[in-house]
């Protein structure tokens, strides 16, 4: 057999799809990891049903994982898969329509039984009826090939067949010339205590590789070369993990214990899961009886001098809102993580959305301002978490960290910080009286503020001489005793607002990408739309258009220069996965006619969709 040719391509989008029980998330993860180690840039999009394990073979049970790998910087998991691996008819049915015309579809033919076809709603077999004529289809009996490959390990047929995802992974690894060591190592450690299964998975994986290498079906393999990246140590990381690590890093930098009070909820639970592993690093996780208790316990921990954190998703934010009002009033550090999902109500629990922004800003009684920070990519969750914690500690305030379902589960390469890279954070605990009373005595005034930041002192129990009482009733300026005085209330309401406004001191200017300098169209986004917006802009620029892109990390307060930035452009467009929440805030504050581009489908934007929308705007503004 002659050596096969390898064709050079600059990027590829692959989607693995199968039944919830088929291990597609794992398969996708491994392919991602191989590509990461290989040096590609990449981005991923897992997509799974709300049911734990919907009935086998049904459309509801399909789980998928998409990854884009490239030899250049990649910001999204890609719009349309170039390759679809479909482990059963349902997976084909749900996903085929999204595959790029001319793309490749690989299916496990074994699963294409009459029964399964019916379950998936097919009236005829798509592998035979010509309906896939636009694609290159590779029908492979992966199950049988896997069973045959692992025969020697004495597994039952069901267990044997279960390794077929590794067969698929092996095949794709061959097709794209991925290094296989990391996956082999992974299999070895994962099944360290189940030798038969370990060997079966290794064998299936290699069988898949060899199938590609050997058979006629696959004439060429593809070569996606490593992407240029800043030198350094990298890993692939999901948003939830990065966020958890960011919180740990911040607490570490500040020399504080980290206390997470949380109640499980999709898609935020993995933050709880991750942090619960790290008691050795001074992390305490408290799985509370509900979201209210999670937030309250975190407030209690902050009161005691820990970095209190509470993580949840939108429905949980509802429940926490009264406690967050208390935190605003107590002026204690607190990080509140909202991993947004589709709403309202239970909504679409496993899908992504950006529709809690206004809730984050306004979802409390009274004037209860708090800063809001949003990461823009999975890896950026680390830095955003550090920033949120830093603001919380420095300004003695709850901070809302707005992630979303896409960031939470999506992944990308992350340059791992080294010791010394982390900022140092000074909790600045109060240690002595800060006030002289009329009669010259030294006293402690819990609401006497630092003039620059307007932050109040953080005096933790156990500190002698600073005994004091705080609470949610309006407090007198300075001394902090209960005050019902009208003028004092007005002052305190405005002071709390002023304190949040002063955070512009540390958030820097608006991030704007305007390479040409003559753009008349500004696209402004926040959070996870960064990837598709930036890529859409890049494509438009390649086509000779000028377009500027601003992306907000701080949603409250806005950067000092934002008004000026907005007014520099003839048109401002704001794409959001909601009905126009940031648009509203910008319009209100700056009286600029920001135009929304809104979509609420539970899925990230497609690059092409934003590109198309922007093109129309470009035409309209006449460039």
Partner 1 sequence: MTVEALPFPGLRGVPVAEVPATAKEYSSDQEVRWCPGCGDYVILKTVQGFLPGLGLRRENIVFISGIGCSSRFPYYLDTYGMHSIHGRAPAIATGLATTRGDLSVWVVTGDGDALSIGGNHLIHAMRRNVNLKILLFNNRIYGLTKGQFSPTSEAGKVTKSSPDGSVGAPFNPVALALGADATFVARAIDSDRTGLTEVLRAAAAHRGTALVEIYQNCPIFNDGAFEVLKNPAESARRLVRLRDGATYDIDGRSYVHDVRSASAESSWALSRLDDGSMARVPVGIFRRVERQTFDDQVRGNPARAEKGDDTAFFSLLAGADPWTVA
> Which of the residues 252 through 271 are near partner 1 (CB under 8 A)?
252, 257, 259, 261, 263-266, 269
Output 483 or 598, the one with its CB closest to ligand TPP: 483
The span from the CA of 280 to the CA of 15, in Å, is 38
347: contact with ligand TPP by CB under 6 A? no
Residue number, 478 or 580, with CB nearest to its own copies: 580
Per-residue interface string for the shown chain with ligand SF4, residues 24-53, x marking contact by CB under 6 A: ----------------------------xx
Least spacing, CB of residue 601 vs ligand SF4, in Å: 27
Question: CA–CA separation, 590 vs 571, rounded Å?
Answer: 13
Which of positions 435-494 make contact with its own copies (CB under 8 A)?
Answer: 471-474, 484, 486-487, 489-490, 493-494
Residue holding tokens 């129309």? 616
Span from 36-44, 73-81, 201-209, 215-223 in contact with partner 1 (CB under 8 A): 36-44
Q: For ligand TPP, give the closer residue by CB, 315 or 527.
A: 315
Q: Rounded to 5 degrees, what are φ and ψ at 605?
A: -60, 150
The residue among 63, 45, 46, 44 whose CA lies nearest residue 54 is 63
How near is the Cβ of 290 to ligand TPP at its closest, in Å? 7
CA Rg, the chain, in Å? 27
H or E element in which residue 242 lies: helix 239-254
CB of 323 to its own copies, least distance (A): 8
- Characterize 176-214 residue by residue with b for buried, 16 or more Cβ atoms within 10 angstroms of its Cβ, and e for exposed: bebebeebeebbeeebeeeeebbbbbbbbbbbbbbbbbe
30/475 with CB nearer its own copies: 475
Task: Give the shortest CB-292-to-its own copies separation in angstroms.
Answer: 8
Q: How far apart are CA 153 and CA 34, in angstroms?
A: 26
Within residues 247-276, the interface with ligand TPP by CB under 6 A covers 263-265
Residue among 139 and 417 whose Cβ is closer to partner 1: 417
Residues 412-441 that bind partner 1 (CB under 8 A): 416-419
* Distance of alpha carbon 507 from alpha carbon 12, whole angstroms: 36
Judged by CB under 8 A, does residue 19 bind its own copies? Answer: no
- Cβ pair 553, 530 in contact under 8 A: no
Q: Tokens 């407030």, residue?
A: 299
Number of residues engaging partner 1 in binding (CB under 8 A): 95
Distances (CA, A) of 528 to 400, 411, 422: 16, 12, 24
Is the Cβ–Cβ distance between 411 and 236 less than 8 Å? yes
Examine residue 579 and say whether the peptide bond preceding it is cis (omega within 30 degrees of 0): no
Query: Residue with CB nearest ligand TPP?
Result: 265
Instruction: Choose among ligand TPP, its own copies, ligand SF4, none what residue 264 binds, the Cβ cut-off being 5 to 8 Å by kind.
Output: ligand TPP
Q: Which is nearer to ligand TPP, 315 or 604 (CB)?
A: 315
Query: What is the SS3 assignment for 404?
Result: strand
Q: Compute the least distance from the CB of residue 270 to partner 1, in Å.
A: 8
Compute the distance between CA of residue 358 and CA of residue 339 in angstroms, rounded to an integer.
Answer: 14
How many angstroms separate the CA atoms of 435 and 589, rounded? 38
How big is the CA angle at 279 (ends 274 and 283), to the nearest 5 degrees?
Answer: 75
What's the closest the beta carbon of residue 162 comes to its own copies, in angstroms?
26
Can residue 363 be called a binding residue for its own copies (CB under 8 A)? Answer: yes
49 or 282: whose CB is closer to ligand SF4?
49
What is d(CA 605, CA 70) in angstroms, rounded to the nearest whole number?
19
**Length of the chain, please?**
623
Residue 178 site contact among ligand TPP, its own copies, ligand SF4, none (CB < 5 to 8 Å, cut-off depends on kind): none
Site for its own copies contains 342 (CB under 8 A): yes
E-only strand ranges, 117-185: 136-140
The 3-state DSSP class for residue 415 equals strand
Nearer to ligand SF4, 3 or 52 (CB): 52
Contact 318, 345 (CB under 8 A): no
**Is 315 near ligand TPP (CB under 6 A)?**
yes
Q: Which of residues 593-622 bind partner 1 (CB under 8 A)?
A: none
| 494 interacts with, out of partner 1, its own copies, ligand TPP, none, CB within 5 to 8 A per kind | its own copies
Among 184, 257, 322, 520, binds its own copies (CB under 8 A): 322
Alpha-carbon distance values, 227 to 35, 39, 69, 70 (Å):
10, 6, 9, 7
Point out which span in 147-155, 409-417, 450-458, 599-607 binds its own copies (CB under 8 A).
599-607
What does DSSP say about strands 372-373 and 398-404: parallel, antiparallel, or unpaired? parallel
Q: Would you say 240 and 339 are in contact if contact means Cβ atoms under 8 Å apart?
A: yes
Show the tokens assigned to 151.
């025969």
CB of 360 to ligand SF4, least distance (A): 31
Residue 45 φ/ψ, nearest 5 degrees: -140, 95
Q: Which residues bind its own copies (CB under 8 A)?
A: 49-50, 60, 313-315, 317-319, 321-322, 325-326, 328-329, 340, 342-349, 351, 353, 355-356, 358-359, 361-368, 471-474, 484, 486-487, 489-490, 493-494, 496-497, 578-579, 584-585, 587-589, 591, 593, 599-603
Q: Which residues bind ligand TPP (CB under 6 A)?
A: 263-265, 291, 315-316, 319, 322, 346
Q: Which residues bind ligand SF4 (CB under 6 A)?
A: 52-53
């Amino acid at each position: 057999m002659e050596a096969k040719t390898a064709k050079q391509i600059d990027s590829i989008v692959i989607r693995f799809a199968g039944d919830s029980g088929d291990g597609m998330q794992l398969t996708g993860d491994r392919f991602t990891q191989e590509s990461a180690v290989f040096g590609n840039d990449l981005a991923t999009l897992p997509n799974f049903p709300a049911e734990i394990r919907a009935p086998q073979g049904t459309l509801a049970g399909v789980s998928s994982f998409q990854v884009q790998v490239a030899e250049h910087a990649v910001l999204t998991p890609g719009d349309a898969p170039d390759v679809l691996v479909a482990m059963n008819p349902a997976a084909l049915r749900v996903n085929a329509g999204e595959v790029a015309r001319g793309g490749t579809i690989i299916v496990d033919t074994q699963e294409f039984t009459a029964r399964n076809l019916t379950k998936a709603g097919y009236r005829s077999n798509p592998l035979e009826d010509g309906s896939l004529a636009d694609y290159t289809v590779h029908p492979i009996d992966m199950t049988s090939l896997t069973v045959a490959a692992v025969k020697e390990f004495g597994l039952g047929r069901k267990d044997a067949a279960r390794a077929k995802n590794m067969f698929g992974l092996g095949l794709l690894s061959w097709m794209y010339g991925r290094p296989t060591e990391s996956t082999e190592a992974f299999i070895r450690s994962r099944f360290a205590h189940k030798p038969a299964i370990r060997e079966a998975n290794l064998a299936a994986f290699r069988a898949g590789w060899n199938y590609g290498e050997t058979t006629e079906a696959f004439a060429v393999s593809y070569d996606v070369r490593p992407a240029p990246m800043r030198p350094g140590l990298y890993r692939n990381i999901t948003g939830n993990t990065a966020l958890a690590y960011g919180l740990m890093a911040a607490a570490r930098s500040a020399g504080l214990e980290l206390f997470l009070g949380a109640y499980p909820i999709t898609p935020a639970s993995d933050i709880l899961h991750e942090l619960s592993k790290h008691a050795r690093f001074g992390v305490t996780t408290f799985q509370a009886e509900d979201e209210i208790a999670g937030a309250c316990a975190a407030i209690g921990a902050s009161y005691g001098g820990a970095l209190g954190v509470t993580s949840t998703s939108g429905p949980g934010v509802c429940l926490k809102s009264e406690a967050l009002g208390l935190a605003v009033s107590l002026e204690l550090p607190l990080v509140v993580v909202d991993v947004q999902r589709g709403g309202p109500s239970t909504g679409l629990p496993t899908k992504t959305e950006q529709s809690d922004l206004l809730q984050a800003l306004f979802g409390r009684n009274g004037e209860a301002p708090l800063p809001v920070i949003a990461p823009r990519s999975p890896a950026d969750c680390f830095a955003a978490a550090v920033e949120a914690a830093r603001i919380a500690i420095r300004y003695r305030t709850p901070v809302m960290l707005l992630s979303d379902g896409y960031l939470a589960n999506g992944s990308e390469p992350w340059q791992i910080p080294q010791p010394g890279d982390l900022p140092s954070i000074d909790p600045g605990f109060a240690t002595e009286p800060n006030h002289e009373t009329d009669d010259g005595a030294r006293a402690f005034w819990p609401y006497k503020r630092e003039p620059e930041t307007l932050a109040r002192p953080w005096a933790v129990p156990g500190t002698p001489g600073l005994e004091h009482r705080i609470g949610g009733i309006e407090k007198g300026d300075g001394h902090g005793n209960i005050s019902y005085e009208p003028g004092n209330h007005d002052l305190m309401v405005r002071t709390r607002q002023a304190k949040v406004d002063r955070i512009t001191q540390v958030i820097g200017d608006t991030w704007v990408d305007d390479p040409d300098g003559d753009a008349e169209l500004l696209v402004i986004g926040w959070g996870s739309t960064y990837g598709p917006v930036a890529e859409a802009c890049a494509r438009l620029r390649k086509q000779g258009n000028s377009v500027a892109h601003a992306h907000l990390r701080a949603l409250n307060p806005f950067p000092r220069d934002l008004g000026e930035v907005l007014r520099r452009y003839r048109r401002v467009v704001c794409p959001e996965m909601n009905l126009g929440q940031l648009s509203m805030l910008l319009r209100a504050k700056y009286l600029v006619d920001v135009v929304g581009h809104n979509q609420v489908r539970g899925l990230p934007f497609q690059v092409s969709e934003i590109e198309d929308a922007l093109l129309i705007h470009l035409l309209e503004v006449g460039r």
